[in-house]
Structure 1
Amino acid sequence: MKRQSLWAAGLAVVMSTAGAGTALANEPHPWQIGLQEPASPVKHLMDSFHSLLTVIITLIVIFVAALLAYCVVRFNAKKNPVPSKTSHHTLLEVAWTVLPVIILIVVAVPSFKLLYVAERVPQADMTIKVTGRQWYWDYEYPDHDNIAFSSNLIQESDLKPGQRRLLEVDNRVVVPVNATVRLLVTAGDVIHSWAIPSFGVKKDGVPGRINETWFKAEREGVYYGQCSEICGVNHGYMPIAVEVMSKPNFDAWVAKTKTAQGIGDRSRDVAQAPAPAAGAVQ
């Protein structure tokens, strides 16, 4: 009986630890080691590329350190009073030329693949326009009758139990799970940068210019990020929160928000609007 109780207690500890890890997977937390859990196709590719580079760099460091240690021991003045006067070694010269080329190719192939996937926006299910301002974000949903709102940091004195300091906002971005979301990012004053680590997204917002990126959240939850371009004295107080929910819950949120903003039903689809015809009057 006592043994069963110990097993039950141990299982409870493991489950609570796993639950805490899941709860913190979408945000930074104290003493964090490693990257945040991936929640989008691009972030999965980024993590794989990071792991590949880590292995390659570690092997290179070990090889160079071992070579230096060997040279120090083998060719010191006591063991080698007469220094070598070798002027060339064809095989060695070919090796140290070809091997780095091979390593660069191994690194370049997944790198180019990642760049292509991250920059090429696929057929989108919806579009969100993001405008960075000192020091908050404006959001617009052109596919949903131009729902619009601002998102500001919740001050520490106003936080509710369980809310994250310097990460919680008064209005979260809301998207459906497994939907391809196109982001149009710009700024209204200085350069900002919209970033969510779990999505592998970081796109600069530049005044007078619209930059495009995308993400596809693979699981429900709340994901946090921050402005990642120094934009003034309150740069560190410009968080981003994205809430990913099921499609029915998202539709209910859209209906509720439209009612609150007094927006009628003028549904239209601009998620993947075609480019205007040449010579068309804008």
Structure 2
Amino acid sequence: MNSSKSIASFFAALLLMLAPQAVFAQANPANIEPMAPEAATPQNDVSPLVGAGERGDAAAGADAYVPMGPEMIKGQPESGAFGFQEQYSKDGQYALWMHNAILLPIITVISLFVLALLLWVIVRYNRKSHPKPSRTTHNTLIEVIWTVVPALILLVIAVPSIRLLASQYEAPPADAVTIKATGYQWYWTYTYPDNGDFEIISNMMPEDEAEAKGFPAQLEVDNRMVVPVNTPIRLQTTAADVIHSFAVPSLWFKLDAVPGRINERIFQVEEPGIYYGQCSELCGARHAYMPIAVEALPRDRFEAWVRAQGGTVGDEPAGETVELGEGAEAADGAGEDAADGTESEAEGAENDTVAVGARGTGRRS
């Protein structure tokens, strides 16, 4: 009996010691350092590409990637807002139409009908106005009505709902761009297997830095997930530690990221711009500080961005380098170095070259 009390006392004391630390961690999540690795090459520090022939000339010109500024923000939460965000994907626009044209009117009519029926019963069948209780046990007409009408309502809701669900899980078309989003505590990485398999590391931008640049605090990131507009995006999600959830409300997209499993859905952004989201699955002390930023670009600028990260477009050979000086020549084996995110030094080169590889971006300046 005494030993049981001693064990209970020990665990109680341990709990009392750990509880203040847990509370402090939740109250001061900024003191917990994220586990994101140091990134190699800042996104904005990559010089305009100088590739082979026409590709280099185009990338170094008007089509070179420049990160969008705060004036291009389109999808973000608003303080005190009531309702859905404006939608910038076909699925989102259809879902918003369904809500406004079908669900909201049906809900309003049903609510008003039930309220009116309740008031009528209170007035008509109270003890004063109707002292003798009704002994009605059934009414065939009423029973048919309250069976058929709800069935019709469900049918009206089901048809567009099934269509919306089916469109979100269609097989990706041949021209879809594949992106793999991996959730970590507490940041995201984005891999582009169709474009050389390079990887972007995305952390929340410090609040003071974001506000100084005109971006919303706790939503802006150091490196965004960049996608082409009007192109199907095949997004695959997974996680490295606990369950996360990739959610961007203005694109009508939410997909869980589960360790050891790949989930997949397609979406398509209709307009260039910046669209914010957040991890939507409780994942630890810094769950609220794990934002998502999607930057949608015209196709030519997206391809320039891909090349700036050391990636490839179409049938281009993998592993080409980004030149930071004139007259540089790529060394043999630069492709392998680029895939690992390491620097390759070309023998006999007049200037250094940097291979932007699998973990090739850092904080934007």
TM bucket by the smaller chain?
Answer: 0.7 to 0.9
Structure 2 partner of 1:28: 77
Contact kept, 8 Å, 2:180 with 2:190, in 1: the verdict is: yes
C-alpha separation in 1, matches of 2:268 and 2:304 = 20
Equivalent residue in structure 2 for 1:264, among 296, 316, 320: 320
Pairs within 5 Å for 1:200-211: 200-211=252-263
> Is the aligned partner of 1:94 residue 2:144?
yes
Higher alpha-carbon deviation: 75-84 or 234-243: 75-84
State the Cα distance separating 1:121 from its structure 2 match.
Answer: 3.2
Pairs within 5 Å for 1:225-240: 225-240=277-292
Structure 1 partner of 2:194: 143
Contact kept, 8 Å, 1:174 with 1:242, in 2: the verdict is: yes
Equivalent residue in structure 1 for 2:298, among 243, 246, 270: 246
Q: Residue type of the partner of 1:157?
A: D
State the Cα distance separating 1:263 from its structure 2 match.
Answer: 3.5
Structure 2 partner of 1:65: 115
Structure 2 partner of 1:114: 164
Structure 2 partner of 1:163: 215
C-alpha separation in 2, matches of 1:101 and 1:24 = 43
> Is the aligned partner of 1:40 residue 2:89?
yes
State the Cα distance separating 1:84 from its structure 2 match.
Answer: 1.4
Q: Residue type of the partner of 2:299?
A: K
> Is the aligned partner of 1:174 residue 2:226?
yes
C-alpha separation in 2, matches of 1:88 and 1:203 = 48
C-alpha separation in 2, matches of 1:232 and 1:96 = 47
Residue 258 of structure 1 aligns to a residue whose secondary structure is coil
Q: Residue type of the partner of 2:280?
A: S
C-alpha separation in 2, matches of 1:34 and 1:227 = 20
Contact kept, 8 Å, 1:25 with 1:36, in 2: the verdict is: no
Contact kept, 8 Å, 1:43 with 1:200, in 2: the verdict is: yes
C-alpha separation in 2, matches of 1:212 and 1:138 = 16
Give unpaired runs (5+ residues) of structure 2.
1-70, 312-317, 322-334, 336-365
Give the TM-score of the pair, scaled to structure 2: 0.64
Equivalent residue in structure 2 for 1:214, among 255, 262, 266: 266
Contact kept, 8 Å, 1:149 with 1:171, in 2: the verdict is: yes
Structure 2 partner of 1:190: 242
RMSD: 1.7
Residues 99-143 of structure 1: CA distance to partner in whole angstroms, max 9, x if unpaired?
111111111111111111111233042100110000000110111
C-alpha separation in 1, matches of 2:244 and 2:150 = 37
> For this pair of structures, how many residues does the alignment match?
243
C-alpha separation in 2, matches of 1:203 and 1:104 = 26
Higher alpha-carbon deviation: 212-221 or 75-84: 75-84
State the Cα distance separating 1:41 from its structure 2 match.
Answer: 1.1
Give unpaired runs (5+ residues) of structure 1.
1-21, 267-282
C-alpha separation in 2, matches of 1:25 and 1:88 = 56
C-alpha separation in 1, matches of 2:110 and 2:291 = 38
Structure 2 partner of 1:7: none
C-alpha separation in 1, matches of 2:172 and 2:99 = 24
Structure 2 partner of 1:278: none
Contact kept, 8 Å, 1:169 with 1:240, in 2: the verdict is: yes
Residues 176-212 of structure 1: CA distance to partner in whole angstroms, max 9, x if unpaired?
1101110110000000000111111100010000000
Equivalent residue in structure 1 for 2:183, among 128, 132, 155: 132
State the Cα distance separating 1:24 from its structure 2 match.
Answer: 6.0
Contact kept, 8 Å, 1:186 with 1:206, in 2: the verdict is: yes
Residue 87 of structure 2 aligns to a residue whose secondary structure is coil
Contact kept, 8 Å, 2:208 with 2:217, in 1: the verdict is: no
Give the TM-score of the pair, scaled to structure 1: 0.82
Residues 157-193 of structure 1: CA distance to partner in whole angstroms, max 9, x if unpaired?
3223311111000000111110111011000000000
Contact kept, 8 Å, 1:127 with 1:142, in 2: the verdict is: yes
Q: Residue type of the partner of 1:37?
A: E
Cα 1:64–1:40 change in 2 (3 A) is same
Residue 47 of structure 1 aligns to a residue whose secondary structure is helix
Residues 24-81 of structure 1: CA distance to partner in whole angstroms, max 9, x if unpaired?
6411112212211111111112112222211111111100000000011111111111
